[in-house]
Each structure stands twice: as structure tokens, then as C-alpha cells.
Amino acid sequence: MHEMALAESMLEIVEQTARRSGAARVTAVWLELGALSHVEPDALRFCFDAVTRGSVADAARLTIVATEGQAWCMPCGEAVPLARRGEPCPRCGSYQLNVTQGEDMRVKEIEIA
């Protein structure tokens, strides 16, 4: 499962950050998730709960913040917002788009105790 691998790499980042700050426990995690990433937020949440069990982030609250997708439209010659992959340019209707933002995820912040 794709989300399981992502949850594991999230936990790694969270554990490293907690260790650096000398924290005994992580109580909350904020994650930025691109609108165009192939990640199911509910599945990721489920996996995060599973991998953090017994770790420093056991029972930590996960908040997923969606970040907007963006693409470069060739005909328009500018960056346009893109709600979902496979959709045309909202300005000119062209499908000649290069996704430039919104495909990745990032641990934005953690709350420690």
C-alpha cells in the first residue's frame, strides 16, 4: 500500500524532529498534502495511526492541510490553478499542461510535549 510507505517516511521525519528537540512525545502533526498527489487522505490517516502506535508519536493528532495544485499552460503561457489532475486549463480549456505544484507532501509542523 502506497500510503503505508508514506506514513512510514512521515514518522521518520517526525521522530528525527522530536529527537533534535529533545521531546519525549509528539502530540500533533501538521501535514501539507498536494491536491494533485495520488494520496487518499483517509487512507494516509489510517496508516499514520498504525505506524505511530508505540512510537514517540503514539496517538498524535494528524491534521492534513491541502495545498493547491498548479500547472504551466503552454497556450496561455502562464501558471494556472489546477484542482485535479487530468482537468483542462481553467482559462483556455487546453490540456497542454505541465504540473508545477501540488504533487508532493511535506511535514509542516509538529507539536511536542
Q: Does 89 bind Zn ion (CB under 5 A)?
A: yes
Q: Does 92 bind Zn ion (CB under 5 A)?
A: yes
Closest to Zn ion by CB, 23 vs 89, is 89
Write the Ramachandran bin of 67: left for phi over 0, alpha for psi from -120 to 50, otherwise beta. Answer: beta
Q: Does 76 bind Zn ion (CB under 5 A)?
A: yes
Residue at shortest CB range from Zn ion:
89
The size of the interface with Zn ion (CB under 5 A), counted in residues, is 7
